[in-house]
Amino acid sequence: MPSPSPIFAEMEYEHTVFLKPRKEESLIRRHPWVFSGAIRKIDGHPKDGDLVKVCANKGRLLGYGHFSPNTSIAIRMLTFQEEEIDGDWWRSKIRQALKVRSDLNLLAESNQNICRLIHAEGDGLSGLIVDYYDRVAVVQTHSMGMHCALNEIVQALKVELPELKGVFDKSSKLLKKIGLADVEDGLVFGSLPEDWSPIEFGRKIVIDLEQGQKTGFFIDQRENRSLLSQLSKGKKVLNVFSYTGGFSIAAMQGGCELAHSLDSSKRALDLAEESVTLNGFDAKRHKSIEADAMQFLKNGVAEYDIVVLDPPAFAKSASARHQAVQGYKRINQRAIQTMKAGSLLFTFSCSQAVDDRLFTHTVIAAAIQSNRMVRILHRLHQPADHPVSAFHPEGAYLKGLVLRID
């Protein structure tokens, strides 16, 4: 590695951002976001995606991050010390993230080959998500800085994961939102193995890389699906907001009498049916219901023993929180009111802006209005391969409750 000369340092980090007095405190605590309102002045003319040096008001170095002038998070920090962000740096970050997953033994079993490899702030890489599905990595860059680093990221993944056969970039939708119109989704390395077979604790998964939501599947519910699997024997299960049927397949794995998948997306339901066949389950035990969940729940769910409610994020920002809470209350109340005695409700929220406490209070409010005896059996969260930095509590986005309704 070349030793940094003064000229080198100037070329690499020609942009320096100075924060307003006392705005350095959160960065000293290793919170990785700098909001635009915290910036006092900028030396240089950084463009969207450029690496900038960040200093406190009086010039103390705070670290380096990706500049993002068009969003409220103006800088996403990559490091809180003096170091060069080069190919070696990316490899070391990715190696550390992989070590966390291998220490969790998440890919050690032959019946389990999907996990999240990089969880943005949880792995010190704000703006980057990488999911792993049986030798294929799916990358989502949420910022211009991460988009510009794609090559380094792919190289690092290839070196650190020798079994890797393909890398699929699935960032175009996110990048369009920040003004990059000409990026397309697709393989940026290798190809899909002919015998590609993503599997989650024995459940084979159909993933649509081209058109699927997020990275193609919601890995964050993996352990929660396994819990449903354990509780499903002989039960009638309704999976509302089913997407490609992850919870339905888990219920069928656990020996449910029937599983009904409800979603507004016909495409997602087609994939759910494909999954049923791929897993060798009797297709007569599964039914797809293409419907609006709010409307459907009005008719009651008394015929089921277990109901799963896993809606999309109702609150995409703090300003939408109030409306989101009303939405959660409404769907939970509609379900609880009509569920049969002794039934179970798996209810979730993946809105970052609605925290654990608020979600629990909202569900309890729904239970009170339903006038039913309701007990909390489990409190659920995102799994360990979606780690939350202790300094960035906003990263804890998934919460869920398993309720017994009597």
Residues 188 to 207: which contact ligand SAH by CB under 6 A?
A: none
Using the contact rule CB under 6 A, the part of the chain among 179-187, 264-272, 351-359, 378-386 near ligand SAH is 264-272
Among 33, 132, 133, 218, binds ligand SAH (CB under 6 A): 218
Among 124, 216, 246, 383, binds ligand SAH (CB under 6 A): 246
Using the contact rule CB under 6 A, the part of the chain among 16-24, 34-42, 102-110, 244-252 near ligand SAH is 244-252
In the complex, least distance from residue 224 CB atom to ligand SAH, rounded to whole angstroms:
8
Tokens representing 37 are 């309102």
Among 115, 268, 306, 401, binds ligand SAH (CB under 6 A): 268
In the complex, least distance from residue 381 CB atom to ligand SAH, rounded to whole angstroms:
15
Among 13, 80, 168, 241, binds ligand SAH (CB under 6 A): 241
- Other CB atoms within 10 Å distance of the CB of residue 242: 25
| 273 contact partners, CB below 8 Å, separation of at least 6 | 245, 283, 286, 288
Binding status of residue 359 toward ligand SAH by CB under 6 A: no
Q: Which is nearer to ligand SAH, 134 or 200 (CB)?
A: 200
Residues 81 to 100: which contact ligand SAH by CB under 6 A?
A: none
Task: Give the count of residues interacting with ligand SAH (CB under 6 A).
Answer: 18
In the complex, least distance from residue 39 CB atom to ligand SAH, rounded to whole angstroms:
36
Per the residue annotation, which of 55, 115, 256, 350 is the catalytic one?
350
| C-beta separation of 53 from 60 below 8 A | no
Binding status of residue 122 toward ligand SAH by CB under 6 A: no
Binding status of residue 186 toward ligand SAH by CB under 6 A: no
Q: Which is nearer to ligand SAH, 220 or 305 (CB)?
A: 220
Q: Which is nearer to ligand SAH, 52 or 249 (CB)?
A: 249
Binding status of residue 397 toward ligand SAH by CB under 6 A: no
By CB atoms closer than 10 A (0-12, 13-18, 19+), residue 361 is middle
In the complex, least distance from residue 317 CB atom to ligand SAH, rounded to whole angstroms:
18
Binding status of residue 221 toward ligand SAH by CB under 6 A: yes
Among 243, 314, 359, 397, binds ligand SAH (CB under 6 A): 243
**CA 332 to each of CA 203, 263, 295, 365, 373: distance values in angstroms, whole numbers, following the listed order:** 28, 16, 13, 9, 14
* Binding characters for ligand SAH, 282-321, by CB under 6 A (x = yes): ----------xxx---------------xxx---------
Q: Which is nearer to ligand SAH, 50 or 263 (CB)?
A: 263
First to last CA, the chain: 66
Secondary structure of the chain in HEC code, one letter for each residue: CCCCCHHHHHHHCCCEEEECCCCCHHHHCCCCEEEHHHEEEEECCCCCCCEEEEECCCCCEEEEEEECCCCCEEEEEEECCCCCCCHHHHHHHHHHHHHHHHHCCCCCCCCCCEEEEEEHHHHCCCCEEEEEECCEEEEEECCHHHHHCHHHHHHHHHHHCCCCCEEEECCHHHHHHCCCCCCCCEEEEECCCCCCCCEECCEECCCCCCCCCCCCCCHHHHHHHHHHHHHCCCCEEEEECCCCCHHHHHHHHCCCCEEEEEECCHHHHHHHHHHHHHCCCCHHHEEEEECCHHHHHHCCCCCCCEEEECCCCCCCCHHHHHHHHHHHHHHHHHHHHHCCCCEEEEEEECCCCCCHHHHHHHHHHHHHHHCCCEEEEEEEECCCCCCCCCCCHHHCCCEEEEEEEC
Using the contact rule CB under 6 A, the part of the chain among 83-91, 228-236, 261-269, 325-333 near ligand SAH is 261-269
Q: Which is nearer to ligand SAH, 332 or 389 (CB)?
A: 332
Binding status of residue 263 toward ligand SAH by CB under 6 A: yes
Using the contact rule CB under 6 A, the part of the chain among 41-49, 55-63, 130-138, 239-247 near ligand SAH is 239-247
In the complex, least distance from residue 272 CB atom to ligand SAH, rounded to whole angstroms:
9
Is residue 350 part of the annotated active site? The answer reads yes
Catalog residues that contact ligand SAH under the rule CB under 6 A.
218, 221, 241-244, 246-247, 263-265, 268, 292-294, 310-312
Query: Any idea which residues carry the catalytic annotation?
Result: 350
